[in-house]
Structure 1
């Protein structure tokens, strides 16, 4: 059982009459996460993640991994440092590299603190033993830090210099099978964002420095978003304004004068790359004739720390955090009587009985026991509401009434109910069932058939 008194939770305490000078524009999520002690600024553009927020981030990681494995992904780990020689071969070192961190080792060799790993993973494939067409498609993913020297790092983890990313790199034998892979992985991305239940848009995008022939971005709509999107009010089609800046008609339904502009926070990006990297870096496979042929690539990124911050930005109020169901650090917080109160002895029996039942329903790791009994129930309840626990259940004076004992249940949507024990447990049980339903969203039959077809291609060619 998680005990609030033992959690490292360095909340900012402001004197009542203090006047705080604001030196920069803060996003809602950045302000709340910092004030509540869930993140701390390490330096300009970097953040230290405290235990409660780390729980949420770990849940995000696990959910992404579930989707990547279901889509045929295999997990790897690549070094943070990538030789600049590889970026010279791909031609990307000749472009704008002002956002990249460069370091040298003691012998003078230069490396990038990788903002992305296309060159590194392609070079790894190029130096591996000859790959047979029977081994394709390959879908390799990793989860780790990325680095970009943002000119204007702001809005907390939504635009940081160091961030956590899931990046996948896929290798196919033809443009056709690479497009099948692209469809499978983007469907897995669709599923992941649907599981989070945060409204998102998937837009056509420019390929930019990454290159390739096809690209999509996933955005959360927010006033602090730095991308301008064009959205059709008739059919729901959306695109990056950079792509459709000259268009007055919807490219999808062709209706005129029905396009509106909104701001988006980019949380994921997918690319169909072709042989842009495999050709210059010599990554090949042996075809049915036993001859080497360039691998056809795709790459797929999700900014995990950005997803966490941006989802809170969209869902939260100005004063209280709101979490996606599957990312909430805890399902329920239990608050018992204050130390020394007249109902303490009897109410604590109710409190510990409640904790035992909740452990059976949620699993004890999903329950937070706010055992800081030197604080009033009101103070602990205020902290719990600001932290955005899906449910807070209070075992106070009303829980020991002889005729009709009641627990006080507060839900994160602002509702307050007085329920008996069984009714409160039923509410939590329904919530846990909803979470299980979201976790168990699977690939459609069509996607499964597409995956099976690709696997058969590798064995029958």
Structure 2
């Protein structure tokens, strides 16, 4: 079980009447994550993720893994260092590489600290024993650190110099089957972002330096977004403004239906899909043996999701200025339980209920989803304020009302909602319902019998 007293949780403490000089524009998520001790700045553009936030990162990685494997993905790991010679072969070394980190080893050989791995994974296949058409399609993905020397690293994890990314690279025998793969992976992306329950916009996008014939971006709409998105209320078209040749004006006609019903919003790009064709496979010699036994260039796609950027951007969209709000599937803990203050007159009888609640809640949602705020030297009010700012979906307080002789009540706070005073069984039923909703998001509407048994178990009286 997770105990608040044991957490490494270096929250910032600002003395009263202190004058805080703001040296940079902070996003809402950056401010809260930093103040609450969930993320610390390592250096300009790099961040240290503390244990509470790391739980959310790990949950998102698990969610991404599940969706990628469901789409036929196989997980791999590629070296962070990519020889620059590979990028020279594909022509990308001659492009704008001002944002990329270069390093040399002691022999003078130059490497990129990879911002992306198209060349590396394609070269890997090019040096593999002949691949048969029977092995296609190949859908290989990894989750790991990427690097960009951002000119304006800002808004914390939303635009950092080092970040976590999921990148998938797919290989097919033809343009037709590659488009089929594009549809399969895009459906997985759609499903993933719907599971997060954060409003998102999927837009047509420019292929840029990645190249290829087809591209889409996934955005969270936010004032701190750096992309201008166009949405048409007539036909439903959505696109990044950069896909239009002319300068974007409010009166620009829709490129799909030619109406003037376009609106502009700001977006944070959190994922990107590309159909690349033979842009990388041809220059790097990545082939497969076709039905005639002859080598033929692989047809490629690539698909990225910013792991840490999604986390920060989701919080940016959902949170208030004072309190974090998490997507259900990414909240560090489902339930925070706060017991009586040390030395209070209700401490002894309340702790009996507190300990029994710990057992019952642990059975309902799992011990790892329960945070016990056992810092009893602090008042209930101080611990409750921390719980609210951290955005725990459900916070249960075992205070004086829990030990009153007639109709004992627990105080229950839903993130973003009103305080409720509930009888013990009703509070447990609410925990079970929340747990059921989470599992429904993960599995679909068909819940397993085990989940139903968990919901039924809350009928036991304490």
Provide the secondary structure at the position in 1 that maps to 2:243: coil
Q: Is 1:360 paired with 2:363?
A: yes
Equivalent residue for 1:202?
202
- Looking at structure 1, the residues matched to 300 and 78 of structure 2 have their Cα atoms a distance apart, in angstroms, of 17
- Looking at structure 2, the residues matched to 87 and 197 of structure 1 have their Cα atoms a distance apart, in angstroms, of 38
Equivalent residue for 2:84?
84
1:244 to partner: Cα distance = 2.7
Equivalent residue for 1:394?
397
Find 1:438's aligned residue among 441, 459, 462: 441
1:16 to partner: Cα distance = 1.1
Q: Is 1:190 paired with 2:193?
A: no
- Looking at structure 1, the residues matched to 398 and 137 of structure 2 have their Cα atoms a distance apart, in angstroms, of 56
- Looking at structure 1, the residues matched to 419 and 376 of structure 2 have their Cα atoms a distance apart, in angstroms, of 22
Q: Is 1:309 paired with 2:343?
A: no
Equivalent residue for 2:384?
381
- Looking at structure 2, the residues matched to 231 and 338 of structure 1 have their Cα atoms a distance apart, in angstroms, of 53
Provide the secondary structure at the position in 2 that maps to 1:242: helix
What CA deviation, in whole Å up to 9, does each residue of 1:256-305 have, x standing for no partner? Answer: 22101100000000000000000000000000110000000000000000
- Looking at structure 1, the residues matched to 115 and 106 of structure 2 have their Cα atoms a distance apart, in angstroms, of 22
Equivalent residue for 1:325?
328
- Looking at structure 2, the residues matched to 133 and 245 of structure 1 have their Cα atoms a distance apart, in angstroms, of 39
Equivalent residue for 2:127?
127
Equivalent residue for 2:115?
115
1:400 to partner: Cα distance = 0.2
Q: Is 1:249 paired with 2:253?
A: yes
Provide the secondary structure at the position in 1 that maps to 2:22: coil
Judge conservation of contact 2:140–2:169 (CA < 8 Å) in 1: yes
Judge conservation of contact 2:71–2:184 (CA < 8 Å) in 1: yes
- Looking at structure 2, the residues matched to 73 and 399 of structure 1 have their Cα atoms a distance apart, in angstroms, of 50
- 5 Å matches for 1:138-177? 138-177=138-177
1:245 to partner: Cα distance = 5.4
Aligned length: 441
Provide the secondary structure at the position in 2 that maps to 1:78: coil
- 5 Å matches for 1:230-245? 230-244=230-244
Equivalent residue for 2:374?
371
1:236 to partner: Cα distance = 3.0
- Looking at structure 2, the residues matched to 153 and 300 of structure 1 have their Cα atoms a distance apart, in angstroms, of 23
- Looking at structure 2, the residues matched to 344 and 387 of structure 1 have their Cα atoms a distance apart, in angstroms, of 25
Equivalent residue for 2:449?
none
- Looking at structure 1, the residues matched to 421 and 216 of structure 2 have their Cα atoms a distance apart, in angstroms, of 47
Judging changes above 3 Å, is the alpha-carbon distance between structure 1 residues 259 and 245 closer, same or farther for their aligned structure 2 residues? farther
- Looking at structure 1, the residues matched to 209 and 313 of structure 2 have their Cα atoms a distance apart, in angstroms, of 24
Judge conservation of contact 1:390–1:412 (CA < 8 Å) in 2: yes
Judge conservation of contact 2:12–2:34 (CA < 8 Å) in 1: yes
What CA deviation, in whole Å up to 9, does each residue of 1:372-392 have, x standing for no partner? Answer: 000000000000000000000
Judge conservation of contact 2:234–2:259 (CA < 8 Å) in 1: no
Structure 1 runs of 4+ aligned residues shifted over 6 Å read none
Provide the secondary structure at the position in 2 that maps to 1:111: strand
- Looking at structure 2, the residues matched to 234 and 161 of structure 1 have their Cα atoms a distance apart, in angstroms, of 39
1:415 to partner: Cα distance = 1.4
Equivalent residue for 1:22?
22
Equivalent residue for 2:223?
223
- Looking at structure 1, the residues matched to 313 and 355 of structure 2 have their Cα atoms a distance apart, in angstroms, of 36
Judge conservation of contact 1:191–1:441 (CA < 8 Å) in 2: no
Judge conservation of contact 2:199–2:220 (CA < 8 Å) in 1: yes
Find 1:278's aligned residue among 276, 281, 292: 281
- Looking at structure 2, the residues matched to 237 and 188 of structure 1 have their Cα atoms a distance apart, in angstroms, of 21
What CA deviation, in whole Å up to 9, does each residue of 1:402-426 have, x standing for no partner? Answer: 1110000000022110001110011
Find 1:422's aligned residue among 421, 425, 428: 425
Provide the secondary structure at the position in 1 that maps to 2:242: coil
- Looking at structure 2, the residues matched to 289 and 379 of structure 1 have their Cα atoms a distance apart, in angstroms, of 73
- Looking at structure 2, the residues matched to 245 and 125 of structure 1 have their Cα atoms a distance apart, in angstroms, of 36
**What 5-or-longer segments of structure 1 have no aligned partner?**
443-461
Judge conservation of contact 1:195–1:441 (CA < 8 Å) in 2: no
Provide the secondary structure at the position in 2 that maps to 1:157: helix
1:203 to partner: Cα distance = 0.3
1:255 to partner: Cα distance = 5.4
Equivalent residue for 1:97?
97
Judge conservation of contact 1:220–1:267 (CA < 8 Å) in 2: yes
Equivalent residue for 2:343?
340
Equivalent residue for 1:73?
73
